[in-house]
Amino acid sequence: MKLSRRDLLKASGTTAGMALVPQLSTAQNTPSKNTFRLSLNLSTIMGQNLGFSKELEVASQAGFRSVEIWMPTLEKYLASGGTISDAKKRISDLGLSIENCIGFAQWIVDDNTTRNKGLEQLKREMGILAELGCKRTAAPPMGATTEAGLNLKAAAERYRTILELGEQMNVIPQLEMWGHSKNLHRVADVLFVAAESGHAKARLLLDVFHIYKGGSSHESLHLVGENSIEIFHINDYVTSLKPEQIKDADRIYAGDGEAPIDKIVHALKPSAQPVVLSLELFNKQLYAQDPLVVAKTGLEKMKAVVKRVNAQYKV
């Protein structure tokens, strides 16, 4: 039987398509190796006033292998005679990785003098972090929180400026959304600023609490591209406290409240590398407790969330 060229093309196309079906099916049903890395944001045990070194020890003893540090705490450690070399050794001995640093440089504000000071502060902090081995720092809208009207295109240009600085220093600023701010308080805001910056290193730093506080829907997270989030702050809340009422101190353990936390975590879509889920709390009731108990409890509740998400969605 003779087959025309068209028939051969149709047949080969069909065969090729059928050959791909089992591979696609397997890929869809096989959990990704790159899912989540669990981290402790040291704000969670900050209220016990342990100091930089002791906070790291507690995190390690609780079972964490990743932490987020705070620049004010690190600077206090250095001012009291601590050194970066000693800190690096201690971090290594404890088996920890410093995933990110929380800082508050005013890089985004309209006032040129204040912004330039903020850039100098950020440069100095990045230098410390690079020496410590921390490759990320938070970039919240510090200084642009109380008055609305920040031009988002200008914010994007300013974000690009600190991304270029970070690229030089090997410490990449993560654009942080603050739900209580009058600017950059919605997912749409930070998505625009990050995209408009036109920089390949642009990343978002989002938070369960801030998504609720700022009035964004968790349904918008599907618009955040794969690998656009490297760090994600995890916590929970109760909806009896409305967004306009709820405060940082009202955050509770992940999974203990009414946030659609499974859907949020699933929407993060880890791909090329794991997403770092970092427990960030400021709860005064927890500050009154043993920090090791708080850290251990937080880790177990985070593990339960990830286990549930992996089972439900086959992440």
Q: What is the pLDDT of residue 269?
A: 82
pLDDT per position as a tens digit, 275-306 = 999 999 999 999 999 999 999 999 999 999 99
**Average pLDDT, stretch 113-137?**
98
Single out the residue of 224, 144, 232 nearest to residue 192, CA to CA: 224
Which band of pLDDT confidence, cut at 50, 70 and 90, is reported for residue 270?
A: confident
Which band of pLDDT confidence, cut at 50, 70 and 90, is reported for residue 44?
A: very high
End-to-end CA distance of the chain: 49
Residue 129 has pLDDT above 90, yes or no: yes
Q: What is the pTM of this model?
A: 0.89
Residue 2 has pLDDT above 90, yes or no: no
Q: Do 197 and 169 contact (CB within 8 A), yes or no?
A: no
Residue 22 has pLDDT above 90, yes or no: no
Q: Which of 9-23, 115-129, 240-254 has the lowest mean pLDDT?
A: 9-23
Q: What is the pLDDT of residue 33?
A: 52
- Give how far Cα 17 sits from Cα of 6, 13, 23, Å: 16, 6, 10
Mean pLDDT, the chain, integer: 90
